[in-house]
Structure 1
Amino acid sequence: MRLFYSLLLILPLLIAAPDAAHAQKITGYRSLREPVADRSGRRLWAIRSFNEEGVPHRLVVDPATLQSFDLPAAELVPRAEGEGGFWGTRLGRAVKRYTAPPYRLQNGGATRAETAAGGFFLTVDLCPSKRPFERELFETAAALSPGKAVPVAVMVTGLWLESHPEEVAYLKGEVAAGRLAVTWVNHSWHHHYDPKVPLAGNFLLAPGTDLRSEVLQLEQELLARGLVPSPFFRFPGLVSDGATMNLLAELSLVPVGADAWLAKGEQPRRGSFILVHGNGNEPKGIRLALPLLKGTEVRLLPLPAAFAD
């Protein structure tokens, strides 16, 4: 009987942490900006340096495609280009443009496509939550193009990532099966929010917040789970200021807002960044999104396609 009760205590821990048992150990994580090339000669920029299970790695971004990769440092060679060359790339121009003044308290950064986009950009926020995961949203999106991976940007927080291993495993499975193509967007670690506090002192602007840690800790946890962070960031509550924007520029990240937060009544149009919550916190947005995704004219595009070459 004692063994039976011991198993009952252990079983939830085993069920709750399938990813944790296979997580990679990430150490020595730091920000940098270095021009490198891979073995094929592709020109890349390394934006983070770290050790993965003791092996030196780099988080690199292809500045032309805005795709990011976790690569062993041994597979990269330095390029003879000054750091100033970064700002002339597609990535560098987007970072500079969307972290520049004037600074809005809410919804700063890119809010819709710069290009003549022939579709929409679905962005799904996963803020800390104990409510059920909106799996139907992802299933509906995946059904848009059977046999082809449907792009979706997932704005994930660290606290959600830690507490929802089964949902993370589901998303990874959809990617592996070729049904979804997920762009993993940093949405901070804690996503602090106090409904009684004005925006100017709330979310990441709350006194005592360590924004650098909020960003880099989330990246490390994504990498530990085999997920590669993109060069995009969404501010919690879409709230920011000049200091937070300047730090994103330092970290080579593009801030992403939205012009179609469905639960707030904003109507999407071609090129819109649609914002919904996939964490159960905003069912109104899901109720509006599902019919939209079932429409015959809907085409979802990958987030990097929103930015001009």
Structure 2
Amino acid sequence: MRLRYSLLLILSLFIAVPRAAHALEITEYRALREPVVDRSGRHLWAVRSFKEEGVPHRLAVDPATLQSFDLPAADLAPRREADADFYATRLGRAVKRYTAGPHRLQNGGATRAETGADGFFLTVDLCPSKRPFERELFEAAAALSTGRAVPVAVMVTGVWLDSHPDEVAYLKGEVATGRLAVTWVNHSWHHHYDPKVPLADNFLLAPGTDLRAEVLHLEQQLLSRGLVPSPFFRFPGLVSDGAAMNLLSELSLVPIGADAWLAKGEQPRRGSFILVHGNGNEPKGIRLALPLLKGTGVHLLPLAAAFGD
């Protein structure tokens, strides 16, 4: 079983998958960490380099706002800062704090807002699934708009992304019309799971898993669809170990857990990271989330607002 999973993982990452219409060609994708400045004078950290339709690009993050950008490399100039300076930024502090030990097997990383937050953080997992998409959840969130886009963190897997082009188009449309502000969070490419295997050897901890490939391939496919990956990552099953956390630190990613997984009976409080599944796999969570979203005084916050200055 382990050898079979390893072979399938390797093959699926290198065999061409059907590309969405008008998908961008993203090649030569690799991780880095370089201080840069854009044409407006904004200080950023480039965390990935790649070519987009043959043109050199960078995935860059504003370390103060935690917003990501897909930018032509020609629009960026290097800055004189050491790698250690990264950890003095808001982003770097979050990466360091939430990837540091002691490491729990489940629900490591950030699980709620660092400071008092006047609202909730809605995180929606899109794991591999053939069940209907929970559009009603996103419609209920969008209905909270009072003239501004409603923030939602979408934890997307590559298998779901590849097999649900209409749903991806719907979410992009909601963003384009200003109803939703989606933070695209990496949830791995395959989201492997075997219900018969202990957690310590399951999900991304399954022997033979190439975690780096799981992370970077998903980012590459998001960019090919015009979606910019955020500097956040959610482990499938919320399962991780020290080696996985160390890799996230190397990749400049903040791990996102949850303290209000609704289907498990966890009650949200102000500042909670609410976890529901929007892929049809966990209807109980949706049944609990809808009354919450349709209640009075509900305020959803962007994931970046959970982290201190």
Query: Percent sequence identity over matched residues?
Result: 85
In 2, Cα distance between equivalents of 1:296 and 1:307: 26
Relative to 1, partners in 2 of residues 1:20 and 1:197: Cα closer, same or farther, differing over 3 Å?
same
Gaps of 5+ in 2: 1-16
Alignment partner of 1:255 is 2:267: no
| Superposition pairs of residues 176-187 of structure 1, within 5 angstroms | 176-187=176-187
In 1, Cα distance between equivalents of 2:291 and 2:93: 36
* Partner residue, 1:104: 104
* Partner residue, 1:197: 197
* Partner residue, 2:213: 213
Alignment partner of 1:141 is 2:141: yes
Alignment partner of 1:130 is 2:130: yes
For residues 145-190 of structure 1, the C-alpha deviation after alignment (integer angstroms, 9 at most, x for no partner) is 1432000000000000000000000000000000000000000000
Question: TM-score, normalising length from structure 2?
Answer: 0.94
Do 1:128 and 1:160's aligned partners in 2 also have CA atoms closer than 8 Å?
Answer: yes
* Partner residue, 1:12: none
* Partner residue, 1:117: 117
* Partner residue, 1:7: none
Alignment partner of 1:281 is 2:278: no
In 2, Cα distance between equivalents of 1:279 and 1:240: 22
In 1, Cα distance between equivalents of 2:196 and 2:147: 47
Relative to 1, partners in 2 of residues 1:245 and 1:114: Cα closer, same or farther, differing over 3 Å?
same
* Partner residue, 1:6: none
For residues 113-163 of structure 1, the C-alpha deviation after alignment (integer angstroms, 9 at most, x for no partner) is 002100000000000000000000000000011432000000000000000
* Partner residue, 1:57: 57
For residues 92-111 of structure 1, the C-alpha deviation after alignment (integer angstroms, 9 at most, x for no partner) is 00000000000000000000
Instruction: Give the counterpart letter for 2:222 in structure 1.
Output: L
In 1, Cα distance between equivalents of 2:260 and 2:80: 42
| Superposition pairs of residues 218-233 of structure 1, within 5 angstroms | 218-233=218-233
Structure 2 SS opposite 1:191? coil
In 1, Cα distance between equivalents of 2:36 and 2:299: 35
- 1:19 deviation in Å? 7.1
Runs of 4+ in 1 over 3 A off after TM superposition: none
Larger Rg: 1
Give the alignment's Cα RMSD to 1 decimal: 1.1
Structure 2 SS opposite 1:35? strand
Alignment partner of 1:69 is 2:69: yes
For residues 25-62 of structure 1, the C-alpha deviation after alignment (integer angstroms, 9 at most, x for no partner) is 00000000000000011000000000000000000000
Instruction: Give the counterpart letter for 1:48 in structure 2.
Output: R
Number of aligned positions between the proteins: 293
For residues 179-217 of structure 1, the C-alpha deviation after alignment (integer angstroms, 9 at most, x for no partner) is 000000000000000000010000000000000000000
Question: TM-score, normalising length from structure 1?
Answer: 0.94
In 1, Cα distance between equivalents of 2:145 and 2:158: 30
Do 1:19 and 1:225's aligned partners in 2 also have CA atoms closer than 8 Å?
Answer: no
Structure 1 SS opposite 2:87? helix
Do 1:18 and 1:165's aligned partners in 2 also have CA atoms closer than 8 Å?
Answer: no
Do 1:19 and 1:169's aligned partners in 2 also have CA atoms closer than 8 Å?
Answer: no
Instruction: Give the counterpart letter for 2:246 in structure 1.
Output: N
- 1:21 deviation in Å? 1.6
Structure 1 SS opposite 2:167? helix
* Partner residue, 2:4: none
Alignment partner of 1:245 is 2:245: yes
For residues 222-252 of structure 1, the C-alpha deviation after alignment (integer angstroms, 9 at most, x for no partner) is 0000000000000000000000000000000
Instruction: Give the counterpart letter for 1:156 in structure 2.
Output: V
Structure 2 SS opposite 1:221? helix
